[in-house]
A and B are shown apart, each in its own frame.
Chain A
Amino acid sequence: MTERKRITDIHAYLEQFEDVPGTRVFTAARARKGYHINQCAMSLMKPENRERFKADERAYLEEWNLSEEARQAILDRDYNALLDMGGNIYFLSKIISTDGLSFAEAVSSMTEHNFEDYKAMMAAGGRSPEGVRSIKGKY
């Protein structure tokens, strides 16, 4: 076994993640910030909660310890804004399922493409990592 030196300093480890364009890595800081957003989304795994949410989204969201900004982002299905507030896509996916949307359609709403163009990009091999690996390194 050829042992390699790994980054074990937590500050250096976390700093790397801020260098990836168009990406929010779900760090502990984001997990703390978005805790109630994610738990609220999770609650939609129960059919009775989905029914209540669908009947009156605003009233459902009032029951949760969320900022007004977060409530509005959920009402708007503004997933990029929710990511900025500490939302994580695995949790937010419960909202996508509740809406009966395909995952790809919801994911496409976070990109520069509409759904049709996004599907075409995926069919053609997806987004290339070329140029979007690193902000600082520009590669």
Chain B
Amino acid sequence: MARITAGIASSHVPLLGMAVDQGKTGDDYFGPIFAGYEWTKDFEKQEKPDVVILVYNDHASAFDMKIVPTFAIGCGESYKSADEGFGPRPVPDVEGHPDLAWHIAQSLILDEFDMTIINEMEVDHGLTVPLSMMFGTPDEWPARVIPLAVNVVTYPVPSGNRCWALGEAIGRAVESFPEDLNVQIWGTGGMSHQLQGPRAGLLNREWDNKFMDLLIGDTDEARWIEHIEYIRETGTEGIEMVMWLIMRGALGKKTRCLHRHYHIPCSNTAIGHLVLEPKPAG
């Protein structure tokens, strides 16, 4: 039986990808950011997940305004790195897991989540930066990846509650897959940042840390945070944190924190990173 053994949350700032690609991860600016991921790189070497369900948002790369799916799941064989205006990142192709992806897609639709199915697309920094942060720079990625793209650009974006519930349904779907697979779910994006308008540059260390606290243990308080609160407290792009709730929902009633990291700033953004494991309630 497949099982979800860990949940990882991480920001996916494009500049981190450039730091990796240009070998700057140890310098004065990036060193303290990447130091907080060393623990996780070791953890991943020991855990060797077979599959990562990677919740991210496409930054107008695979999807333009022609089609805006709220929740879309990648069921394809493999995905190439997108050209975001400065050439594709020089990273390995991302190998999918069509058997598990289609199983999850079918299960979710039966469970009343009306998913969009993706067979072919390119993946941008939202997906490849977290892979670099957790796996470094291997010749090929050590795990298969199921991309799960969430619309966090065009409003209304899905509610926190809906994201959490989708995570719960993903958890059920994985558990009913017959093959013995070690599956992780990653929620990416955030934390506080605003990239637009005169209010750009907003960061909120206190709120971000309170949000991370709410993903640990048995509280489900975070699923009820309204969109307006994310925008007021963490900036317009802070709304990406609803994607962390999909990860949290998939871990079940209770979690334990294995690793935690927070750093301000990376470019315009607050970096947050959590490694959680599901814990039986009691």
Contacts and interface: CB of A to CB of B under 8 A. Distances in A.
Contact of A121 (B153, B161, B201): B201
Chain A residues touching B, range:
35 or more
B201 A90 contact: no
Contacts of A134: 232
Nearest to B196: A89
A122 B265 contact: yes
Contacts of A26: 153-155, 236
B202 interface: yes
B231 to A, nearest CB: 6
Contact of B64 (A28, A38, A113): A38
A121 B264 CA distance: 11
Nearest to B86: A97
Nearest to B57: A90
A127 B202 contact: yes
Main secondary structure of the interface of A (DSSP, over half): helix
Contacts of A23: 194, 196-197, 199, 231, 236
Contact of A103 (B87, B192, B202, B267): B267
Contacts of B194: 23, 127
Interface string A66-102: 0000000000000110010000111101111110101
A60 interface: no
Interface residues of B, number: 50
Nearest to A50: B85
B65 A16 contact: no
A26 to B, nearest CB: 6
Interface string B80-98: 0011111100000000000
Given A45-B61, A90-B60, A125-B205, A24 B197 contact: yes
Interface in A8-57: 10, 13-14, 16-17, 20-28, 31, 35, 38-39, 42, 44-47, 50
Contacts of B86: 97, 100
Nearest to A121: B201
B14 A45 contact: no
B65 to A, nearest CB: 5
B178 interface: no
B84 A94 contact: yes
B233 A39 contact: no
Contacts of A44: 85
Given A107-B200, A133-B232, A93 B85 contact: yes
28 contacts: A1-B220, A4-B224, A6-B226, A17-B155, A17-B228, A20-B228, A21-B199, A23-B197, A23-B199, A25-B236, A38-B60, A42-B65, A80-B198, A83-B196, A88-B154, A90-B59, A95-B85, A98-B85, A103-B195, A103-B268, A104-B268, A107-B201, A108-B201, A122-B265, A128-B202, A129-B233, A132-B202, A133-B233
Given A6-B226, A26-B236, 14 more contacts: A24-B197, A25-B155, A28-B154, A38-B60, A39-B66, A46-B83, A89-B237, A90-B59, A91-B64, A102-B267, A103-B14, A103-B268, A110-B197, A111-B201
